[in-house]
Amino acid sequence: MGGRRVRDGLLRGALWASGVLTCALLAFLIGFVLWRGLGHVSWGLLTGQRSYLNHTDGIFPNILNTLYMILFTLAAALPVGVGAAVYLTEYAPAGPWTSAIEFAAETLAGIPSILYGLVGMLFFVRLLRLGTGVVSGGLTLAVMILPVVLRTTQEALKAVPRSYREGAMGLGAGRWRTVYTVVLPGAAQGIVTGCILSVGRIVGESAALLFTAGTAARAAGLLRALHTPSATLSVSLYVYANEYGDLDTAMAIAAVLLLITLAINLLAARTGRRLDRQKGGE
Amino acid sequence: MDAVLSTHRLSLWYGTNQALKGVSLDVPAHRVTALIGPSGCGKSTFLKTLNRMHELVPGVRVEGEVLYRGRSIFDPALDVTALRRQVGMVFQKANPFPMSVYDNIAYGPRTHGIRRRGELDAIVERSLRAAAIWDEVKDRLRKSALSLSGGQQQRVCIARALAVEPDVLLMDEATSALDPISTSRIEELITELKRSYTIVIVTHNMQQAARVSDRCAFFLQGELVEAGDTGRLFSMPGDRRTEDYITGRFG
């Protein structure tokens, strides 16, 4: 009896310590970045742009580019990812073909992002001559997040009760009408969550964008940014730290990125809960 | 007596497992036909086949014939959408869509192309009245159907099935998940509805079959053992197995 008690106590202690360590690491990281970075975040930095002539510094173009990148990537990846997921779950009979696609998606998700960058540069920038910019970068990221969109959408579709499909088909609805009116709305929460997670990856990605979206940053309209070098926040963090050796600004960007990431995670959690309530809590 | 639905030597396999063995049965108009038998006897499978809902199960295979008003429902030229509009279904577990009561009822009519607001309003009210639930939900048509009680949800599902003006209503153990009061309301409703519709129910409950059905069909291990008028079947079963089942010796 005594031995088991001690063992249980030790085990519980170890688990508790792991939990505390995890929280402590997160707190340290957030604390460190904010402490080192927030002091250098200024209105001028957020709204200005870097210029050697005027001796100004700023990340406004990078914020804009990040926004463009999110919009363009989602516009490219969402229709394909959701479409493929609907096809796989609702139309294709389960078999070697569907498991091959799912396996491909899993593998695609595990490939290091620098590889996407390299292939993206060779294919989109060089071969298709799309130039370095939001188009090439966005398409590269779209390929990269496609598995995320596909898998989260698939999971969401599978979670829609079979009885909804039976109900709709029992009333004479065809397959597409069933999907469109009952299954997709039922899966909306999961799809939105997948989107938000994808936005997180887009915001955080740097390696895949170095070769495809470029490292320069000029405030420009979306149309111009499509085909001219347009560094996002994450890329600019690398550029500031590595090329300009300006660690203060790099830390400031890090702080901004961190806040954006936290906001995205909170948003994902809240959207999930809100849509849950809308469905009546089933 | 006119048969609205009739099956001839209907057999069905799930993969290699035969679930129905040459079932021939006529379903007369404006009567309640009850399919009874122990779990796994094939009665639910038989019911689903009547409007081809069995096709949602992968790897299913059918032989034999099902005629709806004299026409084969397996005819490749037949529109399964139109068939399911004529032969509607209510499921074992109430399955309202996660939308408002109104949108649930309007789902079928909208599917079949009715868009005009006034027309939909009329259909919704008529269907909810026919399913004896109008008074309970008329002030909450815009509320989620999932906020209703289980018995109310099942009557909303019945109203939803009625909204497409079917000819036949198939009910798969529609009261098995409900409390006694909700059950008796739905039984009363079935008796009401047979004036306008032909009804086929699957039930585990012998008393229910005796109370609401005009004809009874007893299934065992995929075979139709016997079918006949409910009164006759319960008082003078023709087959020993039927007698054993309805007297509660197995099941």
Does residue B125 contact residue B134 with C-beta atoms inside 8 Å? yes
**Residues 152-171 (B) with a CB less than 8 A from some CB of A:** 157, 160-161, 164
CA–CA distance, B114 with B101 (Å, rounded to integer): 17
pLDDT score of A282 more than 50:
no
CB neighbours of B231 closer than 8 A, spacing ≥ 6? none
**Other beta carbons less than 10 A from residue A100's beta carbon:** 10
Tell whether A94 is within 8 A of chain B (Cβ): yes
- CATH code: domain of residue B84: 3.40.50.300
Tell whether A163 is within 8 A of chain B (Cβ): yes
Domain count, chain B: 1
**Residue B202 structural domain:** 3-246
Does residue B22 contact residue B64 with C-beta atoms inside 8 Å? yes
Does residue B218 contact residue B245 with C-beta atoms inside 8 Å? yes
Q: Is B150 inside any structural domain?
A: yes
Distances (CA, A) of B84 to A90, B53, B211: 20, 8, 27
Q: Is B48 inside any structural domain?
A: yes
pLDDT score of A276 more than 70:
no
pLDDT score of B30 more than 90:
yes
CA–CA distance, B215 with A151 (Å, rounded to integer): 50
pLDDT at A177: 92
Higher confidence at residue B40 or residue A139? A139
List chain A residues with CB under 8 Å of B108. Answer: 171-173
Q: Look at strands B60-68 and B3-14 and give their pairing.
A: antiparallel
pLDDT at B34: 95
Tell whether B95 is within 8 A of chain A (Cβ): yes
Mean pLDDT of chain A: 87
Q: Which of B97, B158, B86 is nearest to A165 (CA)?
A: B97
pLDDT at B1: 55
Does residue B250 contact residue B243 with C-beta atoms inside 8 Å? no
CA–CA distance, A62 with A56 (Å, rounded to integer): 15
Dihedrals phi, psi of A193, to nearest 5 degrees: -60, -45
Per-residue model confidence as pLDDT tens digits over B57-80: 888 999 999 999 999 999 999 999
CA–CA distance, B118 with A153 (Å, rounded to integer): 37
pLDDT at B251: 57
pLDDT at A1: 57
Are B95 and A177 within 8 A, CB to CB? no
Q: In degrees to the nearest 10, what's the CA dihedral of A174, A178, A181, A187? A: -160
CA–CA distance, B198 with B186 (Å, rounded to integer): 16
Q: Look at strands B215-220 and B32-36 and give their pairing.
A: parallel
Higher confidence at residue A270 or residue A56? A270
Query: pTM here?
Result: 0.79
CB nearest A170 (choices: B82, B84, B146): B84
pLDDT at B43: 93
Q: Is B159 inside any structural domain?
A: yes
Distances (CA, A) of B221 to B39, B41, B86, B104, B117: 9, 4, 29, 36, 49
CB nearest A172 (choices: B58, B84, B97): B84
pLDDT score of A131 more than 80:
yes
Tell whether A93 is within 8 A of chain B (Cβ): yes
Q: Is B251 inside any structural domain?
A: no
Q: Is B63 inside any structural domain?
A: yes
Q: Which of B170, B148, B187 is nearest to B68 (CA)?
A: B170
pLDDT at A246: 85
Q: Is B123 inside any structural domain?
A: yes
pLDDT at A221: 74
Per-residue model confidence as pLDDT tens digits over A163-189: 999 999 999 898 899 999 999 988 988
Burial of A7 (0-12, 13-18, 19+ CB in 10 A): exposed
pLDDT score of B40 more than 90:
no
pLDDT at B119: 94
Q: Is B226 inside any structural domain?
A: yes
pLDDT at B31: 94
Structure-token pair, residue B62: 């059918």
Tell whether A243 is within 8 A of chain B (Cβ): no
List chain B residues with CB under 8 Å of A185. Answer: 98-99
A43-281 topology per CATH: MetI-like fold (1.10.3720)
CA–CA distance, A182 with B183 (Å, rounded to integer): 28
> Which string of b and e fits A197-223 if b means at least 16 CB within 10 Å?
bbbbbbbebbbbbbbbbbbbbbbbeee
Structure-token pair, residue A113: 């992002």
pLDDT score of B185 more than 80:
yes
Mean pLDDT of chain B: 92
CB nearest B91 (choices: A94, A167, A281): A167
Are B91 and A177 within 8 A, CB to CB? no
Could you write out the three-class secondary structure of A100-164?
HHHHHHHHHHHCCHHHHHHHHHHHHHHHCCCCCCHHHHHHHHHHHHHHHHHHHHHHHHHHCCHHH
CB neighbours of A220 closer than 8 A, spacing ≥ 6? A61, A64, A228, A230
Are A186 and B160 within 8 A, CB to CB? no
Tell whether A95 is within 8 A of chain B (Cβ): no
Q: Which of B126, B121, B131, B51 is nearest to B96 (CA)?
A: B131
pLDDT score of A3 more than 90:
no
Per-residue model confidence as pLDDT tens digits over B192-237: 899 999 999 999 888 899 999 999 999 999 999 999 999 999 999 9
Mean pLDDT value across residues B21-30: 94
Residue B156: its H or E element: helix B150-162
Per-residue model confidence as pLDDT tens digits over A60-109: 888 888 989 999 999 999 999 999 999 998 888 778 888 888 888 889 88
pLDDT band per the 50, 70, 90 thresholds, residue B147: very high
Local structure of B96: helix, strand or coil? coil
Does residue A213 contact residue A141 with C-beta atoms inside 8 Å? no
* Residue/partner pairs of A126-131 with CB below 8 Å, 24 or more apart: A130/A227, A131/A227, A131/A228
Q: Is B73 inside any structural domain?
A: yes
Q: Enumerate helices (H) and strands (E) in chain A, giving the number of each.
A: 13, 2
Per-residue model confidence as pLDDT tens digits over A224-246: 778 888 888 899 899 888 888 88
pLDDT at A129: 86
Per-residue model confidence as pLDDT tens digits over B154-172: 999 999 999 999 999 999 9
CA–CA distance, A30 with A237 (Å, rounded to integer): 16
Per-residue model confidence as pLDDT tens digits over A14-34: 999 999 999 999 999 999 999
Are A280 and B147 within 8 A, CB to CB? yes
pLDDT at A280: 46
Instruction: Please name every residue paired with B10 in a beta bridge, in sequence order, or none if there are none.
Output: B23
pLDDT score of A278 more than 60:
no
Per-residue model confidence as pLDDT tens digits over A136-150: 999 999 999 999 899
pLDDT at A281: 39
